[in-house]
Structure 1
Amino acid sequence: MTSIPLPQLMGQTIRPLVASSIDGITFHGDHLLAIDGTEGYLLQINMLTQQTKILNSEHWSDFIGASGLAVIDDTLWFAIEENVYFCSFLANDLVPQLFVKLPSRANGVTVYQSTVYVSCQDRGKIFVFNRETGKEITRFHAPGIGRENLTVKGEELWVTDTLEQTVYCLDRATGEVIFSVLTPFESPTGLAFYYDAATEKDLLYVSYTFLEPSIRDNPNAEPQHELLYSQKTLIHPLYFKYYPEHKYALSNGFLIELSYVEELAPLYPVDLKDVEWRIALPVETHRQKIKHIESVGLPFIEEIQDGQKVAVFKFEQLTHQKRYIFGWKVVLEVWGIKYKLSPRDCEKLPSLPQEFSERYLVDNDDLAMDTEIIRRAAVEAIGTETNLLRQVYSIRNYVYDRLSYGIKPHIDPPDVALKRGVGSCGEYLGILLALSRLNKIACRTVGRYKCPHFTFTKGVPLEPDYNHVWMEFYIPSFGWVPMESNPDDLFEGGPYPSRFFMGLAWYHAEMAKDIPFERLVSEGTPVAKTTVSIGDLAINHVKFTILEELQPPEII
């Protein structure tokens, strides 16, 4: 078989015809094989033309409910319920034969030489069998909590997890996680490496199955348009780069244009003199780089506040009779990031610097740290745990156990939100900050918006529905590490995924870290919110435009 040149494949998104779901993928020569467990189809997809063929036309019913997919020595492997099957691919008879039966439902299957690996979500395990005898050799702890699929590359076992939105790279012999990366889309369901002999490079493809909302034109309804959810599938390259010396990995990046503009339109008479309107600019981090920045409407002066850039717009006088638009537009390179730190890395840490204690362990943002309910929660959240990383994780789970997500017009302090049991991202964050700081864990607020996840809508301005905030906590001798406020709180009572514990998706835009995102100063004095609210003075306009997908300089 001829090999497809890698440059022709790179960046290509595959949308298989007729696939209701994709429950496993693998490569056979230059063709991609995918299993649709819903319909029972074994699909063969041409990588260049995306032409799709059903290979098991006569045996499709034998494959209903199938998941996991591997081909070795022209033998096809997959799982249905508790059973792992194989069948001859070369003869094309595709009649499943039982290999082994697990104590619970099997999800992912992959084969390497004489070894068969099978993942099992119900048991939280990856079982390892001898291919010749069917005897169990060993078993590993599965790294995530969702349905997991598997593939092998050399001495590495690669795992994708639907709930964690993550791909893990494991040591094939021990099951130890080497590193992990976030996927650019939710619900990854399968993965496979394509090796191009001409370039001697590998490209990792990941499949996804998810519900996609759309507006349907229904002439029999009133109003005529209605919301429709339909199940969609796609297969997309996962680009990544691991930096072991810095203990993090980056994955699929995007070049985006972000604009933040205020439209001055006061709701009531106001008269402010010698005004500075200060708006934080995006920051540069491991996962976010500024490529270009410019003013919108009016020029600004760039200042540094606590090490971060702020755009300062100056007005001699602001009244309700005047109208302006002003703000900034920036082109950003953003990536998914996932840190690889273990509790062992957080043993015998040095003391927190004094300046950090004075700034990041105090109640400087209405955190209700002196109330009985918050102080009691701070003790209950960590119990007897002394390891910093485990403490933060315990605090997160404690808050998730006691809050459900909901939004209101304003943010209540942590004691009120904790009593109510319902909170927005800002209220989740307030409680996380309060409990962490009471336990001597330095932490700070980060925000401000998330790009809508429509990665295939390139060149079209997208507007986020809400602003968003999350947290960073500080590990002495290492640095600041991110943790989302509420998105991992998916289930009542858990277990909770850890995708955004020490990780951020590509669509997070970091604009302010522990400084106010927007502030008014009049005649040299900060204007109190109770005196004049920015929301009563202006309408903010936030737009994201996805320009292109980015690839790292090297593909691992």
Structure 2
Amino acid sequence: MQTSHAQSVVQPSLPIPSPLSRQDAWSRTVRPLGAYAIQGVAVMDSALLVLDSIRGYLLKVDPATDNATMVNSCQVDNFVGATGLAVWQTSIWFAREENVYVCSLDNLEPQLFITMPYAVDGVAVWESTVYISSQKEGYISIFERQSRRLITRFPMPGVGAENLTVRGEELWVCDRLEQTVYCLDRATGEQQFCVLTPFEFPTGLTFYPHSESGHDVLYVSYAGEEPYIRDNPNNLEEPLELTFRDRTFIHPLYIQHHPHDRYTLSNGYLVEMSYAEELLPLEEVEIHKLEWRIALPTETHRQKILRIEPIGLPFTEEMQDGQRVAVFQFERLKSYERQIFGWKALLEVRGIKYALTPDDVDDVPALPSDFHARYLVDDDELAMDTPVIQQAAKEAIGTETNLLRKILKIRNYVYDRLSYSLTPHIDAPDVVWERGVGSCGEYVGVLLALARLNGIACRTVGRYKCPAKADQHHVPLEPDYNHVWIEFYVPGYGWLPMESNPDDVVERGPYPTRFFMGLPWYHAEIGKGIPFETMSTQDDGVDVSIGELAINHVRFTILGELPPSD
């Protein structure tokens, strides 16, 4: 009798997904498992050391996989509410309330280093020097590590809570409210440059060595909340609820510094933007010889146009004051006609921050002669001849003569007296000033009026913002509203951006300057100083507006993050 033998069946081997290469790992977002609110990040043993202030966790994180290992499994209570993580050799530094602590990697028992007059936000250590930042105090204090003696201190570059790290002779600072990373001379505090972060609420930063390329990767951590729709099975009538959850992660910050041109670029994204009009008249109307003009995106330091193509109907292109405009022509627009037409643009957009200082504009040349008639006049119902606006223009600058200080004082003066609210239509600046509340367009009107009355050439810029969801790729995103801001002119240099109202976030200040001479990646610059959309016809008896004829459709799709520049 033959004995049967069981045979193991060998399945054909399937390809195992290889982990990210170390090169690719630097470009990914790191989302540590088990972290709720990262308030500090450092480098330890070829990994990221992350401080979660809610749970008190110290997590050792692999940036290529998100895998997190608990470092302080039996000492979490010592780190609850902590911030300002730093690692120097075999010691860990952090802050909690007014105290700065140091502990050994061997036992993680915190030892008090120093108690500050106010709450501490950030700590950095380099050799024999300890750097401590405090938003409430307004300074970065520098101590000698062994003697704990105060060596010096210098003003913080921003107005929010700031975290610190040191690289060589540089002190790097991230400001939560300013949404900005600063590079300072660590001995003097002099600012070398600053750059906007692609996400809100940066809470920590560190340089991670990239062994293959020999370059350091600047990682920045973020912590905040995000709204989401929760499915509540206990609520049978309305199971979908709006609620909030913690959102924290780490992302590389890419920097392109252009010192000669006085600006710095940060992370960029490849974005497809579509703008289309849907003909849907409120009343039946027939129009002959109709020309419909829609401004096109503008080429700038931070925005590059890769492609523009028509939607629905072809258009011709013309230039208006150096701006590209699409022209759609209708020989006869019938009363029952329905159309969809517009344009689609493929854009590279980046964050930008300009680096002019008041000293740079103390001795600027005169405005070009044609600027007076174009950018210093009331050409858009700015109420510049009304007593209330003329008086506001005088009070805004006082005795200041420096151009940059004047425009910043005007901005802060407007922020002191206006509060933001979406309004159904745009009122003139004198009406808005008396009311004390305005939309972004009304902020722009007031800023234009006060600046022009003080001899500062400025213009309106817009028109839309991509929803700031940098990690949502290939998903159609539709903004709820349009948006406008201004640009002011510095003779001998050029036009600089200034947001209308988003920096008006603190009652009576101090106000952040993140968007003063700076724009984040998600702004779409379209039609600088010209109307965004107009129509004209040879029919004298026809008097209709664009809003009575059509409904607009705006869509952004983020196709991916741009790779860092060499």
TM range (shorter): over 0.9
Residue equivalent to 1:104: 118
Does 1:217 pair with 2:263? no
Residue 271 of structure 1 and its aligned partner are, at CA, apart by 2.2
Listed as ranges, the matches of 1:336-415 within 5 Å are 336-415=351-430
**1:261-272 correspondence runs (5 A):** 261-272=276-287
Q: Does 1:207 pair with 2:221?
A: yes
The structure 2 residue matched to 1:78, chosen from 76, 85, 94, is 94
Residues 22 and 64, structure 2, Cα contact 8 Å, conserved in 1: no
- Give unmatched runs, 5+ long, in structure 1: none
Structure showing greater Rg: 2
Q: 2-side partners of 1:337 and 1:6: how far apart?
A: 28
- State whether structure 2 residue 299 is matched by structure 1 residue 287: no
How far off its partner does 1:83 sit? 1.0
| 2:80 counterpart (56, 60, 64) | 64
Displacement of 1:38: 1.7
Correspondence 1:237 to 2:252 = yes
Distance, in Å, in 1 between the alignment partners of 2:21 and 2:85 is 24
Q: CA deviation at 1:548?
A: 0.6
CA separation of 1:524 and 1:177: change in aligned 2, threshold 3 A: farther
5-14 vs 436-445, which moves further: 5-14
Q: Which residue of 2 aligns with 1:133?
A: 147
Aligned match of 1:24: 40
SS in 2 for 1:481: strand
The aligned amino acid for 1:194 is: Y
Q: Are the aligned partners of 2:287 and 2:539 in contact in 1 as well (CA < 8 Å)?
A: no
Structure 1 CA distance, aligned partners of 2:271 and 2:487?
23
1:247-277 superposed Cα distances (whole Å, 9 cap, x missing partner): 1000000000000000001001222210110
Q: Work out whether 1:120 is the aligned partner of 2:134.
A: yes
The whole-number CA distance in structure 2 between the counterparts of 1:6 and 1:514 is 46
One-letter amino acid of the counterpart of residue 174, structure 1: T
Q: Which moved more, 1:66-75 or 1:429-438?
A: 66-75
Amino acid at match of 1:327: G
Deviation, 1:42, is: 0.9
1:152-210 Cα offsets, whole Å, 9 max, x none, are: 11111000000000000001110011110000000000000011233210110000001
Q: Distance in 1 between matches of 2:429 and 2:356?
A: 29
- Any runs of at least 4 consecutive aligned residues in structure 1 with deviations exceeding 3 A, and if so which? none
2-structure distance, mates of 1:290, 1:72: 45
Query: What is residue 17 of structure 2 aligned with on the other side?
Result: none
Alignment map for 1:251-266 (pairs within 5 Å): 251-266=266-281
CA contact (8 A) 2:26 2:63 kept: no
Q: Would you say the 8 A contact 1:30–1:47 is kept in 2?
A: no
* Partners of 1:181 and 1:338 within 8 A in 2: yes
Q: Deviations over 1:189-246 (max 9, x none)?
A: 0000011233210110000001111111113333221111111101000011110001
Residues in 2 aligned to 1:8 and 1:454: alpha-carbon distance in whole angstroms:
21
Residues 1:393 and 1:85: Cα distance change in structure 2 (over 3 Å): same
Query: In 2 relative to 1, CA 524–446 (structure 1 residues): closer, same or farther, beyond 3 Å?
Result: farther
CA deviation map 1:51-101 (0-9, x unaligned): 112211111111112111111111111111111111111x2x100011111
3-state SS of 1:23 partner: strand
Task: Give, in whole Å, the separation in 2 of the partners of 1:45 and 1:267.
Answer: 59
Gap change, CA 1:197 and 1:219, over 3 Å in 2: closer
Bigger mean CA offset, 70-79 vs 282-291:
70-79
More deviation in 479-488 or 269-278?
A: 269-278
In 2, Cα distance between the equivalents of 1:317 and 1:411?
Answer: 32
- Residue 47 (str. 1) matches residue 63 (str. 2): yes
Tell me how large the CA RMSD over aligned residues is.
1.3
SS in 1 for 2:396: helix
Residue deviations 1:316-337, cap 9 Å, x none? Answer: 1123311111000010000000
Partner SS, residue 546 of structure 1: strand
Structure 1 residue 454, shift from structure 2 partner = 1.5
Taking the aligned partners of 1:551 and 1:140, their CA distance within structure 2 comes to 35
Query: What TM-score results when the alignment is normalised by the length of structure 2?
Result: 0.95
Contact 1:5 1:199 in 2 (8 A): no
Contact 2:30 2:64 in 1 (8 A): no
8 Å Cα contact 1:352/1:476 also seen in 2 = yes
- 2:442 maps to 427
1:533 aligns with 2:533: no
Asked if the contact 1:265/1:320 (under 8 Å) is kept, the reply is no
Number of residues paired by the alignment? 546
SS in 2 for 1:246: coil
Gaps of 5+ in 2: 1-19
Contact 1:6–1:199, Cα closer than 8 Å, also in 2? no
- For the 8 Å contact 1:442–1:474, the answer to whether it is kept is yes
